Amino acid sequence: MHPELIEIMRDQVCTIYRAVTGADLPTAEPATSEAEPSLEEITRSFAELEALARTSPVLSERVPPFSFTPPLDVFLDGEDLLIEVAVPGVERKDVTVECADGTLVISGIRRGHRGSQERPYSGEIPYGPFYRALRVPLPMSSEPTVGLDRGLLRVRLMSLATNKQTQEATPSPSQPQP
């Protein structure tokens, strides 16, 4: 698991602790005699804590969701597909876009307010990991064009027909140009 994700999970635990107790999470001294918990144990315990926080309306109002599924729109633009995904507050370096076997996968992470001493009164804006998978209904090029502007991720998948036309129109270096 990515170290930054562990840090964001820790921030979420601190937020839940503050919402329950009104105080900051005390710093714990690392136990030297006990073995470190496995990544599976940490992930499972975190998921249980997150689910428990969601059962209380008072807590769920004050603690933003940890992971989320960003909304998206899909447009047919000529023969190409244009996918727009709402990911406000996310930087391009924190997003991965892959297209393989007819599925477009968009994943990434929205970072929280790391190091902030502010205590949330209400928390609705999600942060943490996000993931969307979209089955592409038409044969498309496997290399998407990706751009991020003002919180809107735009992914363009060229149809194979458009991609072939572009390649045929572009002379290769070995072809003599008229």
Mean pLDDT by 10 residues, the chain (178 residues): 77 87 82 73 86 88 87 92 95 92 91 62 82 87 89 92 54 50
| pLDDT of 22 | 86
pTM of the model: 0.70
| pLDDT of 105 | 93
The gap from C-alpha 101 to its chain's centroid, in whole angstroms, comes to 21
Hey, what are 126's tokens?
């999600």
* Rounded Cα–Cα distance for residues 36 and 84 (Å): 41
β pairing state of 72-77 and 80-86: antiparallel
Hey, what are 6's tokens?
């562990």
Hey, what are 89's tokens?
């507050």
